[in-house]
Chains A and B, each alone.
Chain A
Amino acid sequence: MGRMAEVVGRARAAFSSGRSRPLEFRLQQLRNLQRMVQEKEREILAAIGADLHKCGHNAYSHEIMGVLGELALTMEKLPSWAAPRPVKKNLLTLRDEAYINPEPLGVVLVIGAWNYPFVLVMQPLIGAIAAGNAVVVKPSEISEHTSQLIANILPQYLDQELYPVVTGGVPETTELLTQRFDHILYTGNSAVGKIVMAAAAKHLTPVTLELGGKSPCYIDTDCDLAVACRRITWGKYMNCGQTCIAPDYILCHPSIQSQVVENIKATLREFYGEDVKKCPDYERIINKRHFKRIMSLLEGQKIAHGGETDEATCFIAPTILTDVSAESKVMEEEIFGPVLPIVSVKNVDEAIEFINRREKPLALYVFSNDKKLIKRVISETSSGGVTGNDVIMHFFLATLPFGGVGNSGMGAYHGKHSFDTFSHHRSCLIKDLKMEGTNMVRYPPSSQKKLDWAKFFILKRLNKGRVGLIMLALLGVVAAVVIKMAFY
């Protein structure tokens, strides 16, 4: 038996034992995770720093803070999330128990990405544990330090059979995907997303795909440009542009283009100082392959700012491109780097049209003082999520589902949405073996009378008035008695 089959088989046996199901066990594992993050903070920050040239402050606020927040929220809310959810009943089921029971799915696979290598593995893991599943964790091999660290420390704090970590590259992931899982959450690009879904299809495994795309950022002429550009600069160049929800490109009227450039330049100086290469707060491109990929996007472009690179250190300076043509290479693929193209549009109609001609993005950003305009852009476009007058921030509100649509993905998670994603919502109807009277209307031999009674019990009326619950109950009892007398 292959290594993957062994690991998954062990996780499945551990799940079948039932020990991941009691709330107390799940809470204990989550508390252990919390301890792990607190006790191993230095090592986690160091690993992320080694992978992405990320300073401790950034690594803490980008990755650790979010994980601690999610843990705290989940531990607090888990009892209420996991409780059976009673549902509205009809006349026929008034005396019955009807509820939705959240149950674990079984063995879940979480495949992480390299750009936020810790949080993108941990956040799904938290939700999957909370929902009572066994979880196979596969961190991205491209962020090798973090991947190795996770493989080392997770088993020190969590149940080793229920939550194994699998490391490796494409061959190992391919082998892993031949195994049967009960849900797969994958974070990465659309091309691999298709491969994951096709592999999942063989086992009819539901998937959550957190993919990407080009997240547009429309800047209206009526807006506080200084504030808008500061926020955009922060979101664009954090993690050296390697953020799935970074504003990928700007759409704005040509008359404000130079102002936008100047504002961003000023903000960049504010953030990173005069020599960005020496600034400890500025990250690097993850590896040479991506460095070369981003470099090729600059060919033939008008560089309004930046453009300096150093291949040896995978450094690319914060760069702005102006007068970018919609057909150019930099407008074809997700940039995932510190290059910000500005494309001119005459007005918001053109911007909406531009956005709608392309694949649905993971995030969409609009900056305007005009609330109605923002509402309009949201209503006339489609995207995974939206932040108005800022960037990135919808990611940090756990009550909002975080996920894509179309090419940018399917499904969502964060907070309760994670719990629900990794749960099976089992409908339960518990009836009485008595009260056979009301059942008689449905048994053959049929009659018009029986049909009329069936309609009475089951058919929802169009809302012309509401019958109170007590009235309904009375009706039900009366009906039961009448029927018993009629059909017995």
Chain B
Amino acid sequence: ENPYVGLVSRLRAAWLSGRTRSLEYRMAQLEALGRFLEEKKQDILEATALDMRKPPFEAEFSEVLLCKNELNEALNNLSRWMKDKHVDKNLATQLDSAFIRKDPYGVVLIIGPWNYPIYLLLVPLIGAIAAGNCVIIKPSELTKNSEKLMEEVLPQYLDKDCFAVVTAGVEETTRLLENKFDYIFFTGDSPSGGRIIMTAAAKHLTPVTLELGGKNPCYVSDTCDVQNVARRVAWGRFFNAGQTCIAPDYVLCSVEMQEKLMPALREAITEFYGSEPRNSPDFARIVGDEQFKRVQALLSSGRVAIGGQTDEKERYIAPTVLVDVKPSHPAMQEEIFGPILLIITVANMDEAIDFINSRERPLVIYAFSSDNKVVNQVLERTSSGGFCGNDTLMHVTLTSLPFGGIGSSGLGMCHGQFTFDTFTHHRGCLQRGTGLEPINTLRYPPYSTHKMGLIRTATSIKRRGECFLL
């Protein structure tokens, strides 16, 4: 028998009781989450430090601050988000009430990744709670301390009947997925993970959001402030030791620009981490031995221009820049997800755009230029989950922008109201009166040419109003 049947039925019973539906209940749960972030901040910093030596600044910024943002956005706006949305009506429904009702789905499953173990679990959780669902939360088993924190501490803040934390490895997760959920939100790094989730979901016709990844290109044009570019790209690349789904994966630039970038990148790295990044408290480590070996193997692609040092015991890989990288090299076959920045030279912007378009669509595309036309060209002629011009990572700090992938980088979106909408069934409702029945007779049989003529005439009144008379 499936080991999770009991848990899922328990949550389903809680769901059917209707407890999660009132605004007050949802606000109370969200406020409790806020207290969790406040009171357990130190625990979060410690857990992520133990898991991947996440620098306290990074942890506070990404795992606490950004979560609080999403939380406050939800608390400030929830009553408005929940309201029925009244819609424009056509001629026939003028006297009716037509609105979109925001219904929760029911019992939803959220599977979190290991790279931002609190943030990437809480963002969907906030939306799921705001939308009125019951939630099963499955943190990553790779970050053991964060997983323990979620398993032991989070339930102290939330209603245990409606929200449960499940710890599970690959096999148990497979069994968990055999159960029926009303929505599944998955964040993970590989297309294969996404495929497994969606295939399992298909068996129950469960809608999904998949936040995946890819190789995020970063085009740097010849007209730019090189030092600023270097700083912004280095920051985005080496944050969390490169283990960020929206990190710039590889740079595309001209040979001339590469020559200017190199000293600028060197300077930025020194500015950030000092001359010995291994000693800097602001530089993280790779999360596990398997991942360390994987990333280390990519160092053989091209030539090491900056960094390249590693320490297996500490799972330390220095902030590294590789040049002379070819598309056939291992580093160009997979998402790097480590502190290695590749530089690939192209002749011009057109070549860069062709290069980007010949590959899978990434989660984000970056373009740097002091010429706005260049930035817009790259934007218009490519396709990606999101786009950020002249900076890295920052588009995710705006809760008003939807965050999600396209193609192999994912499907669906989240952040701000988009998370709420993701976990909501938008139900079209039309409430009619029983008066005015004579108008309805146009639609009833028996049909006469006369009736048909009326309908056709009415239908040809287009342009301004809707076309439907019925």
Identify the A interface with B (CB < 8 A): 16, 55, 57-58, 60-61, 65-66, 68-70, 72-73, 76, 87-90, 92-93, 98, 100-101, 103, 105-106, 182, 190, 193-194, 197-198, 200-202, 204-206, 209, 211, 223-224, 227-228, 230-231, 234, 270-273, 279, 281-282, 356, 367, 369, 371, 374, 378, 380, 382-390, 393-394, 396-402, 405-407, 409-412, 424-434, 436, 439, 442-446, 450-451, 454-455, 458-463
> Is residue B262 within 8 Å, beta carbon to beta carbon, of the partner chain?
no
Residues from chain B with Cβ under 8 Å of A445 in the complex: 272-274, 280-282
B172-196 contacts to A (CB < 8 Å): 182, 191, 194-195
Q: Main SS of chain A's interface residues?
A: mixed
Q: Is the CB of B98 within 8 A of A389?
A: no
User: In the complex, what distance in Å separates the CA atom of A462 from the CA atom of B89?
Assistant: 36
Q: Is the CB of A61 within 8 A of B470?
A: yes
Question: Per a CB cutoff under 8 Å, which of B60, B89, B466 touches A69?
Answer: B466
Q: Is the CB of A405 within 8 A of B105?
A: yes
Whether A401 touches B282, Cβ cut-off 8 Å, given contacts A204-B191, A426-B387, is: no
Identify the B interface with A (CB < 8 A): 16, 18, 55-58, 60-61, 65-66, 68-69, 72-73, 75-76, 87-90, 92-93, 98, 100-101, 103, 105-106, 182, 191, 194-195, 198-199, 201-203, 205, 207, 210, 212, 224-225, 228-229, 231-232, 235, 271-274, 280-283, 357, 368-370, 372, 375-376, 379, 383-391, 394-395, 397-403, 406-408, 410-413, 425-434, 437, 440, 443-447, 451-452, 455-456, 459, 462-463, 466-468, 470
Question: Per a CB cutoff under 8 Å, which of A88, A271, A393 touches B445?
Answer: A271
User: In the complex, what distance in Å separates the CA atom of A209 from the CA atom of B400?
Assistant: 28
The smallest beta-carbon distance between B273 and chain A, in angstroms, is 6
The smallest beta-carbon distance between A302 and chain B, in angstroms, is 27
Whether A400 touches B65, Cβ cut-off 8 Å, given contacts A374-B431, A383-B427, A412-B426, is: no
User: In the complex, what distance in Å separates the CA atom of A392 from the CA atom of B365?
Assistant: 44
Q: Is the CB of A200 within 8 A of B198?
A: yes
A–B complex contacts, Cβ < 8 Å, 23 sampled: A61-B470, A100-B402, A190-B205, A197-B201, A197-B202, A198-B203, A204-B212, A205-B411, A272-B446, A396-B90, A396-B468, A397-B87, A399-B87, A399-B89, A405-B427, A409-B205, A411-B207, A430-B375, A430-B379, A431-B389, A444-B272, A446-B55, A460-B72
The smallest beta-carbon distance between B284 and chain A, in angstroms, is 11
Residue of B nearest to A396 (CB): B468
Q: Main SS of chain B's interface residues?
A: mixed
User: In the complex, what distance in Å separates the CA atom of A390 from the CA atom of B398?
Assistant: 43
User: In the complex, what distance in Å separates the CA atom of A378 from the CA atom of B370?
Assistant: 54
Residues from chain A with Cβ under 8 Å of B384 in the complex: 426
Q: Is the CB of A430 within 8 A of B203?
A: no
The smallest beta-carbon distance between B360 and chain A, in angstroms, is 10
Q: Is the CB of A436 within 8 A of B394?
A: no
User: In the complex, what distance in Å separates the CA atom of A72 from the CA atom of B105?
Assistant: 34
Q: Is the CB of B65 within 8 A of A458?
A: yes
Residues from chain B with Cβ under 8 Å of A428 in the complex: 379, 386-389, 395, 401
The smallest beta-carbon distance between A228 and chain B, in angstroms, is 7
